[in-house]
Amino acid sequence: MFRTDGRLADGRTIRWYDREEGREAVPDRRDLPETTPMSQLRYDVLTDEYIVLAAHRQNRTFMPPANECPLCPSRPDYASEVPSEDYEVAVFDNRFPALSDAVTDVEEIDDPLFASAPAYGACEVVCFSSNHNASFKDLSLEQARLVVDTWADRTRELSARESVEYVYPFENRGAEIGVTLPHPHGQIYAYDMVPPRARKELDAARRHHSRTGRNLFGDILSRELAEGSRIVAQNATWVAFVPFAARWPVEVHLYPRRQTPDLAALDEAQRDGLAELYRDVLGRFDAMYDAPLPYISAWQQAPAKDDHPDRRLAWLHVELFSIRRSADKLKYLAGTESGQGAFSNDVAPEAVAERLRELGTSR
């Protein structure tokens, strides 16, 4: 993997990732004003969680026509967020970040009920391909591996920032999910805190280790492999399974067989295995119905800093799920789920796993 760094017209950084060296950074010919993020963290004392307020994101780009896609390569008649005429993988600082180390004029208030602080961190956009009409499953194995290497590089670099406590790569795919740009891409949020879902999982892992002396994620993986009914696919380094207590109509988790804290720590064999199995599972998702499955892909990693006490308990994995519950129906979060966080699933995890296994042989 070869990386080339450049600057966009408003001072943001762009990075090209290629399988071969020789690329040169291309200047951005747009006339863009510099923006000042005003993001704020507000503490919700009722739930012990922080909420990000980012009013400047209200006017971000929303579903432009294909010939004005800001994630496509630039053309002589159109300058996009990627100045070059082509690229393999491109990563740039989000123009409308929810988190930023450049936040100014946001007061920190130390109040037991109404605490607030600047929302420091980083938000990056990861373009998986220059092909506007592709999806991750359509990438070649080599291209998918380049994306994995890109995730690893960004995790390593962002984790080293003083303000960053947790690096979260994710992908939203599909209009039903609320995607604002259809071009194949994901995002990375670098938080100055451990976000709620990760914190809950690590809290559970700490309690499990205190009771048993074992790793919770490793025990889950061993149990799923032993029972087998929810296994979707596997290879020498990774396992994909529907979780026992799946919340979503279609939900698959991918675990490396060996405990690994984050994407940056993956070895060569693990990176190859991830590229292979991840494409495979996404292909099964899209084979379920006549239309591509909307999904969210959420990477759970270790806290960024080596001295964080929970880093030794973490086990890198991706939680992949869709809100589509049948060919023509979506799952909406109803009163119990939105109001209490108490999920109800209409589909048995074992049935979903069986269906996804069948799709692997029928494609």
188 class by beta-carbon count within 10 Å (0-12 exposed, 13-18 middle, 19+ buried)? buried
DSSP code per residue over 286-336: HHSSSSPPPEEEEEE---SSTT-TTTTT---EEEEEE-EEETTEE----HH
Task: Work out the number of other CB atoms within 10 angstroms of the CB of residue 226.
Answer: 7
**Sign (positive/negative) of CA torsion 305, 309, 310, 314?**
positive
107 class by beta-carbon count within 10 Å (0-12 exposed, 13-18 middle, 19+ buried)? exposed
Please provide the size of the chain in residues. 363
Residue 5 pairs with which residues in a beta bridge? Answer: 15
CA distance 63 to 309: 42
Q: Is 52 helix (H, G, I), strand (E, B) or coil?
A: strand
Tell me the residue type at 334. Answer: A
What is the longest distance spanned by two Cα atoms in the chain?
A: 63
Q: Please name which of 149, 159, 150 lies closest in space to residue 190, comparing C-alpha atoms.
A: 159
Encoded tokens for 28: 């951005």
* Residues noted as catalytic: 185
**DSSP structure class, residue 74:** P
Q: Who contacts 24 (Cβ-Cβ below 8 Å, separation ≥6)?
A: 4
Q: Which residue has the tokens 């740009």?
A: 181
Query: Is residue 164 a contact partner of residue 172, using CB atoms and an 8 Å limit?
Result: no
Tell me the residue type at 346. Answer: D
Helices vs. strands in the chain: H and E counts, helices first: 6, 16
In order of 41, 51, 266, 341, the CA distances from 338 in angstroms are: 22, 16, 36, 6
R_g of the chain, CA atoms, integer Å: 21
